[in-house]
């Protein structure tokens, strides 16, 4: 992982190399997955979800137009990110216990649980964005348009 | 986009890597497989998209 100072130094070194890193608190923990199982409530398994308040069992169109706030540090964007939830199986009685998520206090003090999000080009030194387009939910406007922010509003990530 | 699969039973998952945390800021090496020993400060999991 790159330190914030390394990211800044690289960003200043060249306009073609850039990285973005920010913290997001836990938004909710739900059996929902609008990418893999749109409309299914509940989905097959549990997810830990961060990001904008427009998250729902089904998500289409421009989430940025519907969201009004987010658990992420970037208040201008309402993307959601989610991961599967991990369970600990008790070695003697076989019971399952949800493993809690610890916040990345070194990056964002005051966050609760959550995810650290990195947007990078290939490895902060090579740009292969065109070879790896992010298309889970397509943006509703051209990334070149003001306020459309292709890499941000055009990307929704799930796991 | 998605990474991993709930039905996958093999060891290495494309796009997933792990750090066994000694402390909250000491991540140690990035591992291709899930840690096999207790991690004092937890496990840092990286999901890389696209995988």
A82-107, pLDDT tens digit by residue? 999 999 999 999 999 999 998 887 78
- DSSP labels, chain A: ---HHHHHHHHHH-TT--EEEEEE-EEEEES--TTTSTT-SS-SS-EEEEEBTT--SS--S-HHHH---BSBS-TT---EEEEEPPEEEPTTT--EEEPPPPP-TTT-TT--S-EEEEEESSSSSS--GGGS---SS--SS-TTSTTT-HHHHT--EE-
Would you call A84 and B24 a contact, using CB atoms and an 8 Å cutoff?
no
Q: What pLDDT score was predicted for residue A78?
A: 93
| Joined tokens for residue A130 | 């065109």
Tokens 């060891």, residue located: B11
Instruction: Determine how β-strand B30-31 pairs with β-strand B16-20.
Output: antiparallel
CA closest to B27 among chain A residues = A1
Contacts of B27 in chain A (CB under 8 A): 1
Answer yes or no: do A84 and B6 touch at CB < 8 A.
yes
Q: Is B31 on the interface with A (CB under 8 A)?
A: no
| Predicted structure pTM score | 0.75
Given a contact cutoff of 8 angstroms between Cβ atoms, the answer to whether A10 and A125 are in contact is yes
Give B31's contacts in chain A (Cβ within 8 Å).
Answer: none
pLDDT at A142: 45
What is the SS3 string spanning chain B? CCCCCCCCCCCCCCCEEEEECCCCCCCCCEECCCCCCCCCCCEEEEECCCC
Q: How far is A69 from chain B (nearest CA, A)?
A: 23
Most trustworthy range by pLDDT among A5-9, A67-71, A146-150: A67-71
Q: Which of A14-18, A66-70, A103-107, B11-15 has the lowest mean pLDDT?
A: A14-18
Question: Which pLDDT score, from 0 to 100, does residue B51 have?
Answer: 67
B24 and A106: CB-CB below 8 Å?
Answer: yes
Closest CA to A101 of A53, A50, A54, A55: A50
Buried b (16+ CB within 10 A) or exposed e, A60-78: eebbbeebeebbbbbeebb
ipTM of model: 0.87
Query: Which residue among B4, B24, B41 sits closest to A159, beta carbon to beta carbon?
Result: B4
Q: Which residues pair with B30 in a beta bridge?
A: B19
List, in sequence order, every residue forming a beta bridge with A23; answer none if it has no partner. Answer: A116
Position A146 pLDDT exceeds 60 = no
Q: Which residue of B has its CA nearest to A129?
A: B50
Q: Which residues in chain B are closer than 8 Å to A44, comparing Cβ atoms?
A: 6
């Amino acid at each position: 992982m790159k330190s914030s100072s390394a990211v800044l130094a690289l960003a200043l070194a060249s306009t073609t190399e850039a990285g973005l890193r920010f913290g997001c608190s836990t938004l909710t923990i739900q059996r929902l997955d609008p990418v893999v199982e749109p409309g299914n409530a509940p989905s097959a398994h549990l997810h830990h979800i961060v990001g904008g308040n427009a998250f729902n069992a089904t998500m289409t169109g421009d989430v940025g137009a519907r969201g009004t706030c987010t658990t992420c540090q970037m208040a201008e964007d309402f993307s959601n990110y989610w991961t599967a939830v991990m369970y600990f199986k008790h070695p003697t009685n076989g019971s399952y216990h949800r493993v809690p998520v610890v916040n990345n206090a070194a990056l964002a003090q005051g966050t609760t649980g959550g995810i650290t999000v990195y947007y990078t080009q290939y490895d902060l030194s090579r740009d292969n964005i065109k070879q790896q387009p992010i298309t889970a939910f397509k943006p509703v406007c051209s990334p070149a348009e003001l306020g459309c922010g292709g890499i941000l509003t055009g990307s929704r990530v799930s796991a | 986009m998605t990474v991993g699969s709930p039905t996958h039973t093999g060891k290495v998952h494309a796009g997933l890597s792990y750090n066994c945390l000694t402390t909250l800021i000491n991540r140690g090496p990035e591992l291709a497989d899930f840690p096999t020993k207790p991690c004092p400060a937890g496990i840092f999991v990286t999901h890389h998209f696209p995988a």
